[in-house]
Structure formats: structure tokens, C-alpha cells
Structure 1
Amino acid sequence: MALRSIASKLALWVLLGTVTVLSVGGILLFQLVGHQILAQTHRESEALASDASNRIQERLDMVTNTDQVLAAIIGPRPVDAEPLLRDAISHNPDLSGLASAFVPGSAAALASGQSPFVSRTDDGSLTHRDLLKDPTPYWNASWFQAGLSCMNGCWQKPFYSQSRRRRLVSYSTAIVADGKAVGVLNADITLEWLQGILQDLDKPEGTNAFVVDQQGTFLANDTTELVGQHADAELLRTLNTHGAAAIRMLPSESNNADEPIWIYRAPIKGTNWQLGLTVPEAKIYAGVRHAFMATLIVGALALLILSLLMLVIIRRIITPLVVLTDRAEQVARGALDFALPATREHDEVGRLTHAFDRMRNELAMHIAELTRVAREQQRLASELEIAHQIQTALLPGPHYLDARCSNFELHAALQPARTVGGDLYTYFMLHDQRFCIMVGDVSDKGIPAALFMARAITLAKALAPRAQSPQQLLQLLNRELCRNNDGCMFVSLLCGFLDTVRGHLIMASAGHEPPVRWGREAPHLLQLETGPALGLDEEATYPAHRVRLQPGETLLMYTDGITEATNEALQLYGQERMLACLARYADTPDEDPVGGLVADVERFAAGYGQADDITVLALRWHHAGTERSASMLDITFAASMQDVFDTLERCDQTLEAAGIEDDVRDDVRLVLEELMVNMVQHGCLEQHQGNIGLHLTLADDAVLVELHHDGKPFDPLQSPPPALSGDCADAEELGGLGIHLVRAMASDLNYTHDEHGNHLQLRFVHANRPEQDHDLQPSQ
């Protein structure tokens, strides 16, 4: 039985080893082939999307060229408008209608005597009508108003024509005479040919092609039921935010997909349309999976045969071990005076037989114990080293410099007391020109603290984009850390959001050490109101503290490993020594205060050793990128309608005196009127009128506006956009302005709310000045 058991185990282990090697090799091969197939699919799909985009563009270019040429000819010759339109539409089958609509009362309208509209009927014949005789004035329609500003031509929104019973899209070009727009040359085209181009594409099985316009409406789709419908919001966000031609979308990111899909996009030049191809990821890898399964079945049969052969061979080989097994049992019972059979072979069995003569049970046990202890120590040391590397990889770089305008610079250092520790620091850029910094200290030390630290950093980075302020981020992080915290571990944390343009810093503390600030003044502690440490109370709140950093000022955040460092005399380093050390860097802004402070602590505790983790982060505000910004208006007034309109007049006068363009001033006034009226009508608390604060700043390329209101929370970013629809050529349905106009007119819009009320930051770009990209990525 023992012999069969050993043989079975050896055969099983060999089989498992073989299965493991083949499985790993098969998986690696599958991944390699899968990557190659995916890359080939990317190339083919991108080429297919580009080819279809070019074909669509060629058809559209014929329409746009015809429209622009007609507008240029009709401008000085309005009397020839009707025959020119007939001739153009008869030579271009894509055109469904051409209209030459003049501004009523203009010289062109008087000279022509009509505003001709030539359209193609279902049987191919041409019809004509005078738009001036329509019951609805066309000069009030949105397509005409928008077309007057299209000097070089522009595409209008798609619409469904009730009279022609089909979906159309218009291209409009302003008719110019004597340098002034006197009318609009409007070309209507059908979208049936666009559907035909998609159906003629040589697409792989399972591939779906579509064309979507700038409003997110499907102009064409292989799934014909979706034509004319609004595209999925996540699909539009993916198309508009990703610059890559190939984009992977997960099922959690789409309401219409139950498996991962690849999207290949190609913009249609000259329009705001995009052509897209969607390919299910399962279709891409289907061939590889089938080949892999076939190989797996054949390999399983081969392994089964191999295991049977190995079982027979191993049984024959280990037969001589029966005698040695019996002698080994005697050794286990303490019988060492026995004779072993003579061996003629010099293989492993013979060597083992001779070894039995020399062995003693005590020596064997001793060697085995020493070996076990040594291996355990080696394994533990290796695991600690790997844990240290993983923990270090979670931290960003020790130095960061604002790459866009060098407004601020950051230095950091972390020295664990053991191989791994519980201190943490991190920093990363958020949207709306905000930069997040954190320093924290986890309870306990060693591996448990390191794991809790890794969890805290990972959750903080994941939750930060959802938070509008550091106190909200601490609340979200605290709730997550409280879950499943059976060990009752906690972390003290100091968090700040920095406005990278103006130097405003909002901080919130969760039971952490107070930061140090110096610059114009000597280093001193900022006494912050703090909340409890994270991980203890799910309902905890954290007050905010606002700081306006001045040029040359530095803010230092640290853990108690600095202040509680101990020397041989058991004296603490303390806050006073820390402030004295930092005072030496007050007049040397180019030196790194972090390195100097850590070195001073190490010298102080040289004879005692490091007892706790040390973490330091210093943020220095240079204010290099906003030196030419100028404050124009700073006023606080009562939240009443009269004061609002008085303030709007004062704001307009201030902007006019500063030389701001008329269109920018109009945008600022309209946006401020909408927001402040909403604050008065919907944001005031009961029996409390409230106050509104307005601050205008003039920068090189923009007007910066800050609004503060101490009323109820009101976030304009959460208001849904109005439903804008209508027939661009036949009818018009006007939408509301409101928050939709606020979003449209302001170049940037950021909202936060805290215990002081609502805070809105807006940015209006000067006319004829390109808007710069303010998105910064931290180098880590």
C-alpha cells in the first residue's frame, strides 16, 4: 500500500507540474496571440473608419463647395438666385433643397424681389416657392439667424422635414454684399446616402457602424432603429474625451452593452460629426479561444496518457525502497543496530542505503530544525523587502514642480522606522486647476500599518475626484475606512486643496499635527480646528480652514515622528526645535527645507535611533504664473434684486473701463445676472436675506470671477441641460437660457460648498485670444 501510495503521489505531482507549465505557457501564448490579433483589429478597424470618413467627407465637400460658390455669386447678383439654385440642385443628386433667403428690406431682397427655395420631390422633379410668402417669417428662424454669422459656411443641426417626410441636415453660408451679410444660402441634404455608405462597408461580423453629430444624435447607424435618436451619454463622453482612435468601453460604462467593446472613431473633417465602429471584444478573440480550447482538449488527453505511463515506470523504479522503508521505521522506533542488505548498484538507492549506516536520528532532527528556521527567516526577510518596495511604489516622487507656470513647488520625504511603516503622503492634480496634498500617520507600525496605509492612499485617490472640498474628501474616506475595520485601526490625516492659479488653500484635519507656515513672517504653527482620526466614527465631520498663500510662503506638513524623536537623554525633539530649524530656511527660498529638517532630526536622535516613522511635505508658493493679474472689483452686498442689478451696472462699468470687449462684457453680465438672481430667489434661508460677494480679476487672457453666497446650497453644474429640439428648416422651438447659458458662456465653471456657503469660480476668455489648457498632471 505504501509503495502504491508513493508511486501515485509522484505521478500526481509530475502531472500537476506538467499541467502548471503547460497552463502558464498556454496562457502566455494566448495573451501574445491575443495582443497580436487585437493590434491587427485596431489597424484594420481604424483604416476602415478612416476610409468611410473620407468617403463621407468627399460627398459633403461637394455640397459645401456648391453652397459657398452660390453664396459668392448671388451676393452681387441676387436677381439670378432662382435659376442658379435650379441649375445647382439638378447637377447634385445629394441636394434635397437650396434656399436663398435675404434679410427683409436689404438691397439684395429688394433687387431679387423674392427669397427662392428650390427643392427636389420624391419623383426627382424640382419645385419652387418664395419663402417670403410663408406664413411663418423665416428671418426669425434659428437656421437663418445662425446662418448670417457663417461667413465661411457651417453645418446646422439635423432635423426631420414634415413636408418632405425625411431627415435632413443643412449647410448654411452667409450671402455677403458690400462686406455685410444680406442673406443666407441654405443647402438641405438627405441622410439616406449616409446610411448606404455604412451598409456598403466591408465590416467584420459583429461590427456596428454609426455617424453621430455634435448634439449626440445618430445621423446613421447599422441598427436603423437608432437613427435620429440620442446616443448613450457614456458613449458620447467616451468619444468626446478620448483622443485615441481605439477606445475600450466596459459594460459598467454603457447602458447598451453587456460585454466589453472596442470603439474606433474617425472625425469627419469640415463638420462636427464623428464616424464610429463598435466591435465586441469577444468577436476579436473568438478564433483564439476556439484554437486554445482545441489545444487544451488534445493536451489533456496527452497528459492523461503520460500520467499512466509515469505511474507504471515509477512503481518499477521505487520497488527497492521497500526494504529501506522497513529500516526507516526501525530508526523511528530507536532501533539503530540493524544490518542493511548489500547493494550492488551505485544509483540513488545504493547511496541511500550507505547513508543509513552513518545517520543518527538526533543529528537528522537537528539539521532539519536548523534548515526550517533558516528558511523561515529568509522568507520573512524577502516578504518584508517586497512589502517595502510595494509601499514605496504607492508614494509619488519626492519633488514636484508646477510644470505649466511654476506657481508652486513641493518637496517630500518618508522614512519608516522599520522596513515598512504606517506614515503616508501623496499629492495629485484634480480637475478645475486644483491640487490635492495629504500627509497622514496610521496607528501601530509594521505590516498592519503598511496595509492600512496602502488602503488609505488607494481610497483617497479614488474618492478625490468625487469630492468638492477636503472636508468632504475626509468624510468619504472616513466612511470607507470604518467599514470592516475589525482591528479598530485609524489614521490621522491632514488634507489640502490648492487653487494652482490664485494660491487659495483649503485644509481639513483629521486629528493630525498642525502645519507650519512661514514666508513674510517667521515659522509658526497654524492652529486648525480638527475632527477625529479616520476609521473610528462614520458620522464624523471635519471643519475647513482657508489660507491665501503669498509669494514666497511655504507650508510644511509632518507627522509626529518629527516632534517625538528622542535622543539618548530621552528628550523629545519638539515643536520649538522644529520651528528653530525651519527658521534657517526662511531667507533661503531655493533650499529644500524637508531634507534639512530630516537631517537635523537624525542628528538629534543619532544615539537613540529612529523610534517612529518620519514624513515631511513642504509646499512652497512661488506665484510665478499670475503676477500680471489685477483685481478690478471686490464688493459684498445684500442678496436683494435691487442690489443685484445695481451691482451688475457697476460690474459692467468696471469691465468697460478696463477695456474688455463688448461681447465678453455681455457674457459676464448675462451669466452673473442668472446666477445672482437664482441666489436671491432660491438660495436665501428663512428669515435671513444673506449676502453675496463678488470679486473680479483681470488676467492676461481672461476675466476671472468669484461669487460667494452664504445661503442654501445651489450647484449649477447639477442642473440638467434643457431639451433643445426642432426643425431647423421648417420650424423652430426656442429653449430656455438659464443654467444652460451659464455653462455655454463661461469658459470654466467650478462650484464648491462648505460651512461658509456657496463658492463659484468662473473664467471668461478675452476675444481673439486662444484659450490655454490649464490641465496639469503631477510627475510621480
Structure 2
Amino acid sequence: MKRGIKSKIVRIMLSISLSSLLMYIVIFQISSYFSADIVERATDQMGRKSSTNSENLLISQSIKDSEQIILKNSELVNSQLNEIAMDLSAIATAITYINDHSDLYMPVMVKSAQELVDQGLSDGRTIHYALGEDVELESVSDELYLMGNILPFMEAINNEKGIITSIYIGDESGFSIGYDENAALKAPHGIVYEARNKSWYTEPKQLNGLYVSPPYSDSFGRGLTVSMATPYYQRGELKGIIGLDVLIEDINQSVLSAQMGGNGYAMLLAEQGRVISAPGLTEENADRSNVFLGTKADEIVSLMNENSSGVSLSEIDGLPVYVLFHKIELNNWYYIAVLDIASIIEGATEVKMVIDEITIDTQNEIANASFYTNIILIGMFVATGIVVIWAANKFSKKISKPILMLNDGVKIISNGDFSNKVEIETGDEIEELGASFNKMTKDLVDHIENLKKVTAEKERIGAELDVATKIQASMLPYIFPAFPDRKEFDIYATMEPAKEVGGDFYDFFLIDQTHLGIVIADVSGKGVPAALFMVITKTLIKNYAQLGMPAAEVFTKSNDQLCEGNDAGMFVTAFMGILEIETGKFDYVNAGHNPPLIKKSDGEFEWIKAPAGFVLAGMEGINYKQQSLMLEPDDVIYLYTDGVTEATNLENELFAESRLQTILNENKESTLTELLGSIKTNIDAFVGAAPQFDDITMLAFEYKGLGKIEVIDLPAQVDQLHTVLDFITGQLEKNQCPMKVMTQINIAVEEIFVNIAHYAYASTPEGVGDVGISFKVEENPACAIIEFSDRGIPYNPMELEDPDLTLSADDRKIGGLGIYMVKKSMDEVAYKYHEGKNVLTIQKRF
């Protein structure tokens, strides 16, 4: 059953009012619920975050303090060892001086350990000798007693450095000298001691420099010891080794006394993870670094081998710890701090407990407030319903009558009777609505008549513009490749008009078998007038060019013709170039057009210096000037109209010349088709939803040249070198290359090919591959151009740093000398990675 508008108004008013109030109640309830939830979560998060921040702050500060401690102590340990190393070096220098100036010194008697014991002279530190196997005292006595002059130096260093337990010398002649307190212990073993076989002798001899041993337990029971040794010389030749033993007990005391916060501790670690110093260190656990570094001990030792300092997380007895380390540079030890996280963050949990109590109190208060608010809202809901029912019934009659009249009028018009009018006199907006309704009826009748006429006209114009667009497109070259039989060049062009027909155009045509004409132009204005003027301009330029005129004369004559009868004041910006295909000479003329860009074969896109002359059809009698440049094989020229650089986005920003140049260089290795496609894609992305206001026309041309290229493809294997050299030599001899230049080229070719054979495919799954070699000769001047290409791993040898030839072969870094020789012997060397290939090109003039 249908309900009247009066009933609907009552229902609507009642529904709206009660629904609004009900919605308010629901929103309030939801808000209250979420508010309570937010407060609960916020306080909980606050507690957890405060606790976390406190923990992080405590940990961070503890790590920072510990880093300072281990840095300071590691520097202290390094300083102590460095001082001893400097003292050792001083003794070595003194011995070298004594050896080189033996005539200045008197022999000093040195006794064996047994002789000292027999004579009661073995107490305290003494100097005593031993002899190597099969060495007689008589054969080395002069050198031995000369070395006795070093005793004062040993005594001075021993008095200054209390942690040195022993100083000793081993000589290439086979004798050795010791200075220590162990004469009595050594005496029973005799005088035979082959120092030259000991690691303290062989290691510094091999290094030809300072050697620091790993820590070890001293054989005389003096504790943990480290040995340091360095060579001494006689007239520049290594004569022997001087060494000393150092007790690291004093170092251990400074390590163990360091305070690391909480239950943390410090320790020293040698290479390979051997523990030197740590709380609770015993002989049994010295090689078990996991006892002191936890479950991540192996990972931490590996990390230390790769870094001089760092921090890592580990776990000891089920508790997390931080392990900090710093390298002691002289002997590759590590100073380590182990921080117990649990003992550091004990105070942080108290903050969270206080916040949890506050959260519970807040939730209880919110629940009480919500209960009393709900009672008030229910009472408001009932009262509002009563008031709305009374008001809706009173005013529904007054509102519904004129609306019903409008409804009847709409029904009449919907049946096709546009003569009906409604008469409403309410003195308010409904009366205005009735008047508007009557006016709408009249306007609708007029619009229907006009629409019939406009629709017919648009259909006619659309059909004509469609034909014009097809005609204009057919006038421009659109089949590519345009000259499939000509290998000397390649060309590609596109045009996208802003309207159905546009004023831009491009053209290219063979003037004769040795000359190619290229044109790009932009006619002022848009639409059909510009398209017609474009046809005239294109025809004039091509006709004059095919008469063999120079580019400047073509523009001069075309301009005079276009000026005649140009009452509309139209003009054309244009650029034309004529290429001499055999030589690469490119003559060009510019009539107010955007300057093109050129990319040389081994370079990037740069602007051609093409001064803009006056526009075509602007003024009669102008004599245009042309310029020239020489194109080389693989050079690319890019021409365009201002629809490219003046493309505008919704923010009214221009695409601009700088963005165009950047995109060209990003795609400089692309084909011409890919190059223009990439630019158009970037323009579309930049413009976005903004409408196209100008024609977008582009033309790209690549000159390939006439040079004959000889090519050989063969496996990238060293045993193919003779084939490569035979190929190159044959080509050079064919072109009468001088022997000196031929030798230089063959050396460079051998170096490059052998490197490709060894390394190009070494890291590929197959491990093998091919290499392509091309050869050609350019004339005036004669120049051999050889190109190597492979599909191996990408590698640019030009990025390799030149070797420092001032250094000796032993000190110079390995690698780089071969490519350095190639760069020095060749006139040009260039690399590029193109279409998945490494391409290296060398050039040598002769």
C-alpha cells in the first residue's frame, strides 16, 4: 500500500530525529569504550615503553662507558708493547752498528752457562752463550766476543722494563747469546742450542721485521709470556735475530681490575680465541672461549677476525650478555668487556609497576562515569520522540500540498505534453521551484531543436578531420627501416599531433645515392590551418633539396616562397641537415628551431652548436647560413620540436631541456626505436593527466659509416691466441702497417685476449664462452680499430687504478699492469657494456 507524502514527512522527521539521537548515543558509547581502551593501552604502552627506554638507556650508557674503558686499556696494553718493541729495535740497531764498525770495538768475553755455574757467577741476570749443532767455538769466537759489547744495552733495557724476563740473540753463524736469570737451569743441558730452528728466529727472519708470538706458558715457570723478535744486519744483509720475553702478568692486572658495571668483567683474547686473561682463568679452560664469551663465542671470534672493534650479543648460563671488543694492533690481541644485561637493568622494572597501578585506578573511574551518562541519554531519547511526533504532524500538511502539485506537473511532461504549467503561490522556495520548473520545460523544448542541428554538424566535421588526419600521416615517412638496403645509416621518427591534425612535420629523403636530407619543423598554430601550411613547407623544402642545392640555399628559397601571400602571418621553425654519406660530413641550417643533440660514439648527448636563424615565412630576402660537422661511425643525432621540452604537467611545470638531456644519456646505448619510445614514456609519466597542448615530434639518426669490418669469433681459450694473432697480423700486413706499430698492437691484443680467456667466464655457471674480435682500418689518418666483445661477467678494466711504478715489484699491488701497458701503448682505449656484452675497443694510428 502506497503512503502519502504527509505520512512520509512525519516518518522521516521522526526517523531522522530519533536516529540522530540514537546515533549520538551509540557514538558516545563507542567513544567511551574506545576511550577506556585507549587509556588502558596507552598506560600499558607507557609502562612498557618507559621500562624499555630505561633498559635501553642503561644498556646504551653501560656499553658507551665500557667502550671507553676497553679503548683506553687496549691503548695502554698496545703502548706498553710498543715501548718494548721500540727498545728491541734500538738494541737491533746497536748490534747492526757494532757489526758494521767492528774495528771500533774490543772483544768482550762471554761465557757459557756451565762456565758461569762452575765459577760461581750464575746468580742474578747474566750473559751467556750457546752454540748450534756442529758449530765450534773457535770458528765463531771473534763474532761471539764482538757481540759481548751489547751487554750494556741489555742491562739498560732490563732495568727500565721490569716485565722483560729474558733477552737473547741468535746469529746466522750458529752461536746464540742469552741475558737472563736462567744460567743455572740451562747449564745441565750443555752449550748446544740451535736457535736458527726456533720459531722466534725463523718467523722474524721470514717477515724481515718485527715478530710478536702468541702467548705461551714460560718453560722456566715464570708465568704467561709473549716473545718479541726482530732482525739485525751487517752491511745491509740479515745477520741474525734479537728477541726478548715479556711477562704479561702486569697487563693482566690492569685487565682484571677494570670495572664493567653490574656483574660484568674484562678479559684479553689472543688470535684463534685463546683466552689470555679473565676472571676464573685456568689451564683447563684457557682454550675454551665459550666459558667466558657464551654460546656465541665462535661467531664473536669470527667477527673479531673481520673487524678491529665491535659489539655482539651472547648468552652465558642462560642469561643474555653484551660482548664488546677492541683490537690491540701490535700483536692482534683483543681487549674484551662482557656486560651482564640483567644486572644493568634491575631498576627499570620499578617504573612499570607504578604505571600499572595508575592504569587500574583510571579504568575504574571511567567505568563509573559511563554508567551515569547512559541513564541520562535514555531519558533524552524518550522525550525527543514525543516532541518530534507532534511537530511532524503539524507541519507536514503545509509542506506536502505544493510538492504534490509539482509531482502532477512532472507526470504530464513525462507523457510528452510540454505545454503544461504549474501554478504555485506559497511565497517561498517552493514557489521559485515551480517557476523554475516552467522555465525548464520551455528550455527543454529549445534545446531539443538545437541538439538536432549541432549533432548533424559535428558528425560532418568529424568525418572530414578523420580524412585529414589520414592524409597528413600518409605524407610523412612512416615505414621503418626507411632504407633497409643502406647499411651506412639508420633513422627513426615519430609524431603525435595535439589535435586531429597538427603543424609539426619531419622528413628524410635521399637526394642522390651519396647524400641524405633530414628535416624537422614546427608550424605556428594548430589544427587545419597549420596542417595546410605544413604541407606547403614540406613540399618546398624537399623539392629545392632534390635539385642539389646546399641546405642554406634550400631555406633561403623556401622562405621567399612561403612569404608570398602569407596574409595569415604564419611562420615555421625548421632544422635541416644534408649528410654526405661517404665521408660523414653533415651540413646543417637552423631557422629558429630547437638545437638538436649529438652523441659521439664513445660519449654522451650534447647540444649541437646551431645558432638559430630567423624563422621561415617571417621576412623575405633573408640569406641563411649553414654550418658543418664530421660524423663518425656510431654517432647519433636527436632532433625534436618544442612539444617535447614544453610538455606541461598539472603543476604547470615544463618537461625542460635538462630533463630531456638526462633521459637521452640514460638511454644512450638503446636503439633508435627504444630511444624515442623511452622519451615518450617519460613525457607521458611527467605530464600525467594534463592535456597535450602541442604536437610532439622526434627524429633520431645514427651514422654507421662505410668502413669494412673483418670479424672473427672463437672460444675464449688461451690456446686460441695464435689464431687471434695470425688474424690481427694478417689484417695489419694487408693495410701496410709499420712493424713497430704492428708489434705494439700484437702485444696489446695478446694482453687483452689472455685476460678474457682467464677471467671473463671464470665465475659463470658454464665456465666457458666465446669472444668476438672485429678489425677495421680508417683512413686520413690511417688508424686500426680492434674491438673485443664477450658475454662474460661485466667488468670495466678502465676503472682499475693505474699501478704505482715508483714502488718495487714486491711492494706494488698485484694486477693492473697489463691494462696499464695497453692504455699507454694505444692511442685510444674505450669500454662499454652493451646488450649483455663487455665491449673493449682499442685504436692505434699508423
Please give the TM-score of this superposition, normalised by the length of structure 1: 0.40
Larger Rg: 2
Q: Higher relative contact order at CA 8 Å, sep ≥6: structure 1 or structure 2?
A: 1
Please give the TM-score of this superposition, normalised by the length of structure 2: 0.37
Structure with the larger helix share: 2
